[in-house]
Amino acid sequence: MKSILITGGAGFIGNHVVRQFVKKYPNYTIVNLDKLTYAGNLETLSDIEKSDNYHFVKACITDELAMHDIFAKYHITDVIHLAAESHVDRSITDPLVFLRTNILGTANLLNAAKTSWEDYSKHTFYHISTDEVYGSLGDSGLFKETTPYDPRSPYSASKASSDHLVRAYHHTYGMQIKISNCSNNYGPYQFPEKLIPLIINNIVQEKALPVYGDGSNVRDWLYVQDHVEAIDLIFHKGQNGETYNIGGNNEMQNLALVHILCESVDRILGRPQGEAKSRITFVKDRPGHDQRYAIDASKIKKELNWEPVTNVGTGVEKTVQWYLNNKVWLENVTSGAYKTYYEKHYGT
Ligand code: NAD
Ligand code: DAU
């Protein structure tokens, strides 16, 4: 019987993973461990919080004693590790919290697993990581699993470091591990500091729409449920010690994406076309801004028969609808002391 520790389950991707595992695998015990930082919100999981196979624990992954206690109390058999500081802009203004959570926190979890598990062949530690560890691409090329690591921001450097630690525990101690490196996710319950929900929220509130630099940077967008399906497959069928790249096959320049969002929100709200676009504001670029990310996801397609099913057109439309229908959630997560990076640094 599996008792799976899912870390970061109150965050954006984590809540979708927790929901899928709680509902699809009633025989598994799912322990959602989250510190509930500004990015974690339990309201997101209110629909499943009473499920018999679900437990929530508020704890910090850097807390050594707490991790050992949780492994013992819930007889943890496997880990799906998502808890992290995840926003690149924040890592530029406050790098140390990223190093503590993403590096020390991951090391601490690995160590709790190492000392709690007796027969490593019965357990898996799965780390959810990012394509940003590979650095930045020019106009051509794709990140493959074999691409050398070249992280450029404190966030990506901390995730690269945590990937290395996970592999070190595999090679040194024989722990069964899996890693996946995924491109930009979007969809319901994403904190509105990331590009897509920030732009939707700002359009609704008739605020400026900040585009960094000239808007030519390219990201490969993946609808969050496609990522969850990939995680589910890798967890159950991925090979021990392997890395899988996950991508949306949806490369797009930031400015083009912002235009799509403007058209979609204006149309759904019945506003004149062009109203939102008129508020696009080109702002000072992000320091060290990676130019382009693009993923070669042929390994996961070939080995596990996974490919994304949602294209950006459908996914953006669903996401815009969700944010327009969930204004209370948006209001709740953005109330209090929350301010976007650009509001803090450059005003509204
Ligand atoms: P998120 O910021 O929305 O959520 C992170 C969660 O981790 C929050 O619930 C937060 O409370 C929790 N957390 C933070 N510090 C913690 C700590 N010290 N102890 C315990 N919990 C803590 O992030 P997300 O976008 O859902 O990303 C989840 C994971 O996926 C991260 O590891 C991220 O690096 C990775 N990832 C994200 C994307 C993306 O596009 N969002 C893409 C690829 C990989
Ligand atoms: O590639 C995977 C990564 O994607 C994840 O590992 C990170 O956790 C996640 O935050 C995301 O990182 P990005 O930096 O790519 O995402 P973000 O939404 O912050 O920015 C997307 C692009 O949009 C990027 O080129 C910067 C730009 N941008 C962002 C914001 C917030 C703007 O132009 N204006 C903005 O206001």
293 pocket-lining for ligand 2 (C-beta < 6 Å): yes
Ligand 1 mean position, distance from CA 102 (Å): 9
Protein residue whose Cα sits closest to atom 17 of ligand 1:
60
Q: What is the pLDDT of residues 136-184, one digit of tens each?
A: 999 999 999 999 999 999 999 999 999 999 999 999 999 999 999 999 9
pLDDT at 335: 79
Label residue 345 by pLDDT band (50, 70, 90): low
* pLDDT of 32 higher than 60: yes
* pLDDT of 341 higher than 60: no
* pLDDT of 337 higher than 80: no
Q: Which of 134, 155, 169, 189 is catalytic?
A: 155
Q: What is the pTM of this model?
A: 0.97
Q: Which atom of ligand 1 is nearest to the CA of 60?
A: 19
Q: What is the pLDDT of residues 281-295, one digit of tens each?
A: 999 999 999 999 999
Cα distance between residue 209 and residue 202, in whole Å: 6
Asked if 132 is an active-site residue, the reply is yes
Q: Which atom of ligand 2 is nearest to the CA of 212?
A: 33
DSSP sequence for 227-294: HHHHHHHHHHHSPTT-EEEE--S-EEEHHHHHHHHHHHHHHHHTPPTTTTGGGEEEEPPPTT---B--
Ligand 1 mean position, distance from CA 226 (Å): 17
Label residue 71 by pLDDT band (50, 70, 90): very high
* Contact residues for 53 (Cβ-Cβ < 8 A; gap 6+): 22, 25, 26, 27, 28, 29, 30
**3-186+222-247+294-308: CATH, from 3.40.50.150, 3.50.50.60, 3.40.50.720, 3.40.640.10:** 3.40.50.720
Residue type for position 64: E
Least confident of 36-50, 139-153, 214-228: 36-50
Mean pLDDT of the chain: 95
pLDDT at 132: 98
Q: Where are the domains of the chain?
A: 3-186+222-247+294-308
* pLDDT of 257 higher than 90: yes
* pLDDT of 121 higher than 60: yes
pLDDT at 325: 97
